[in-house]
Amino acid sequence: MLSVEEYRARVLALASLPPVEECAIGSGFGRVVAEDMVAHCAVPPFDNSAMDGFAVRSADTLGGAHLTVVADLPAGTRLAPLIGAGQAARIMTGAPLPPGADAVVPVEDTDQSPGDVPLPDAVRVPPVAVGAHVRRAAEDVAVGAVVVPRGQRWTPASAAAAAAVGHARVRLHRRPTVAVLATGSELLPAGAPLGYGQIPDSNSVLLAGLVEQFGGQVVCARAVSDDLADFRQALVDAADAEVIVTSGGVSVGAFEVVRQAVEGSIEFVRVAMQPGKPQASGRIRDAAGREHTLVALPGNPVGAFVSAWVFVRPFLDACQGAFSEPPTLRIAVADGWRTPPGRAQFMPVVITPDGVRPAHRLGSGSHLIASLHAAEALAFVPADVERVAPGDVLDVHLVR
């Protein structure tokens, strides 16, 4: 049996990076930045006022002062009047601090009224320190600084950062294309009336959703029977997919269909984890000679879910050039449970004020698909731990 880390390393070794595309900064959210984005301009680009008020020379204001108002400076002004001794300028938030001035007094702290009023001839101000209410040029980011590093996911906030430092376009990795095939002759599409021994296919919708959540682009997702002709047709549908994620058939038998339908090398392994013990992966070539990476997960739905988080997520991250680790917390256990000896366990849990507890009374049973959605996280129990007791502290991976 392989450890979780050993098998994860084997799956990661199958990853390859899709090409880079140049995109408008307002698009491609969720994709991964391919090159460090460097600031072309500073943020803020110039010293400016953080308040509506009066720009002053702090040295003039010791003990309070009555200053002559020599200019009116709204945001966007092109005026840059020199403020001399005993002078002030009315200034609005975001307007450049005029030369000579080194502080701003908010209008509320003066004898003037706020709002749209005529420019006064003079203003009474209290003492104010150098730099008060001034936003310094480059105090957020300086020219040449890396603002969004490669490997990070592109978000609306990164797009705003890009705009602020002078970029209209960004280089992003293309999303890897993924086909999801849930194998099993007992499977029917969701909503179809069930005959004897048949069940709804819940894995293809589960895995397709997770693949999208992990940044993959799902090109097809459906159930496939354990019949050679059906699997061959599914591969035709999946022709555009760089990656094929399957569920089912990894314990015995059904993968013979895959072996007969394709060329390539698929490795079947047992991983010391619960759920998710049987796994398979490799590279395959379809009848038309196209290469695909295969990541095959166990059919039991909770096993498929856990395997997707533990193997497919880091694999798809590597296929996108992403460096992110899943969010992991250290949380105490509220109610204890037994764990399988010699296998790491991923327990679906809810997070309560008292700590984590299993999301279902039957624990990590790998068929408990209808209650899995209640789980907020997977609590990781190392292979050498056989009993989890209240108060034990575990690594908890968020799964929402």
Residues that bind ligand MOO (CB under 6 A): 274-277, 298, 300, 303, 366
> Which listed option, ligand MOO, ligand LQZAQKY5, none, makes contact with residue 251 (CB within 5 to 8 Å by class)?
ligand LQZAQKY5
Within 10 angstroms of residue 138's Cβ, the number of other Cβ atoms is: 16
State the minimum distance, in angstroms, from the CB of residue 251 to ligand LQZAQKY5.
Answer: 4
DSSP label of 43: B
Among ligand LQZAQKY5, ligand MOO, none, the one that 61 touches (CB under a kind-dependent 5 to 8 A) is none
> Least distance to ligand MOO from the beta carbon of 276, Å?
5
User: CB 269: neighbour CB atoms within 10 A?
Assistant: 16
Residues that bind ligand LQZAQKY5 (CB under 6 A): 182, 184, 186-187, 199, 201-204, 223, 247-251, 275, 277-278, 298-301, 303, 366
Alpha helices (runs of H) in 137-247, residue ranges in sequence order: 156-164, 203-213, 228-237
279 binds, among ligand LQZAQKY5, ligand MOO, none (CB under 5 to 8 A by kind): none
C-beta closer to ligand LQZAQKY5: residue 28 or 278? 278
Q: How far is CA 74 from CA 28, 92, 101, 295, in A?
A: 36, 5, 15, 60
- Nearer to ligand LQZAQKY5 by Cβ, of 275 and 321: the residue is 275
Nearer to ligand LQZAQKY5, 44 or 249 (CB): 249
Q: How far apart are CA 223 and CA 225, in angstroms?
A: 7
Q: Which two tokens stand for residue 113?
A: 């009224």
Residue nearest to ligand LQZAQKY5 (CB): 299
CA-closest candidate to residue 245, choices 193, 183, 169, 196: 183
- Two tokens at 36? 């460090």
- Nearest residue (CB) to ligand MOO, 53 versus 301: 301
Choice between 112 and 274, CB closer to ligand MOO: 274
Task: Tokens for 275, please give them.
Answer: 């759920």
CB 161 within 8 A of CB 39: no
